[in-house]
Structure 1
Amino acid sequence: FGNITSTPIVSLPEYKTMVNFNNDHQDLQNNLPSLSTMTQVKTEIVDNKMNVDSDSDSSEYEPLVYCSCCNQWSEKLINCIHCKRFYHYDCHIPSIDQELTPNNPLIKTWKCILCHDISGIRLHVNVLLKKDVTAYFVSGHSEQRIIEYILMVLYCQNGDSEHYRECLDRELYPRYYEIVSDPISLNDIKWRFEYTTSYVSFIQLLKDINKVFTNGMFYYTEGDPYHESARQLQNTFFRMLRIWLPKIDITILQNP
């Protein structure tokens, strides 16, 4: 009768989770900032000249390109071959290997974490679905990959995230520190996650991310653009948790 292959049996809840994962993941990708202005740039590392004569009618110079994370211009940015986003070496999460230079053949195949194969992300999600939430640790490989992805999505929502990458200056905004008892920024979390071992608890890291946004909404009044930015970021954050970490009760992130 020849070789008989069988399709793995998947329960209805698991099937629905897979379908929702694919649909919601694509929606997240579609909602990231438009990159139409970047797709015309051909080089992987862009060497732009800072001083362009404003009176010059020359159109031969390269257009300015900005990092998709920090929204800042730079002479050297790495270009994802898939989405055409550009990144500083240290802005991308995880940091890009400094050996990835224009002469490195790997640069022609480099993709940012946002463009990694969805099946790879689903693999990490499935690993976490099989674990109890109490067994989620920052040091876990799947946990790390999900955190990297979550942080990158939040950073690349740069119109909203720019204000929350650093805490407000204490001398310029003393009232903020009277109102907000535990200030924290996205850069604080990124640094602790990437360069220290201060995060052991996976839930604590997620709580800190949420705290960035709750602090913003607590300090700024409704109607303030920064309040709206914090709300938009929190909505994106919660949506990612519902997609990838459905076992986590989002309400526990509101607790200290």
Structure 2
Amino acid sequence: MFTPELRTKAEQLCNRYPERRSALLPLLHLVQYQNGWITRDSINECAELVGMTAAEVEAVATFYTMYKHDGPMGDHLVSVCTNFACAVRGGKAVYQALQDHLQVGHEGTTDDGKITLEHAECLGNCEGAPVVTVDYMNYERLTPDQAVDLVDNLRDGVVPPPTRGMIPPGVRAISHRLAGIGPIDEQAPGQKLGLDTAKDGGVVRPEAGPDSTGLNMIDLGSAPEKEAEHA
């Protein structure tokens, strides 16, 4: 069930739309911000808010992979693309290395509650394959060793800058933004809306076009020499 504060925000979300049911996806993100996953009680409350049946809400919530149902997510959601482009560039080896290192399977959460791991069908960034995302922010062209270094940093509370996007603030904070109600803390690094400069704590977009030097390569201190061959 929503807290009184979030219930007010939920009502405000519903009032944005001519049809209240249009607010369902933002409401489900708001649920994940509060609970870390979609619970049965939250499905019932969302149904009541938007004038749908619980079965209809559950059908939507189980259609989209961004909504989790097996228990609260960890502090960070780590997704590994295992679709074609990433698979041929080593994505499955990256995923296997993280499974072995974290001792969790698909959508499993580590015992310390720091990391939830999942494999993803496509993360829409084939030129950066293999791609790992943290809270939906891209870390591109990672080797298995680099991916392990990345999650170890996250567990230690150190979040390396991604190749694209803002500094990952945690998956619940991202859920708050995906609900369409802005960042939890605009003053946190990289969170201010509309700003992505280094001065504001954001990650500057890589250059593009025929004269660009290409994507920035993430440096976690363990890149093998052959990585340069794939740049």
Normalized per residue, which structure has more helix? 1
Larger radius of gyration: 1
Indicate whether the TM-score tops 0.5.
Answer: no
Give the TM-score taking structure 1 as reference length.
0.29
Normalized per residue, which structure has more strand? 2
Give the TM-score taking structure 2 as reference length.
0.31
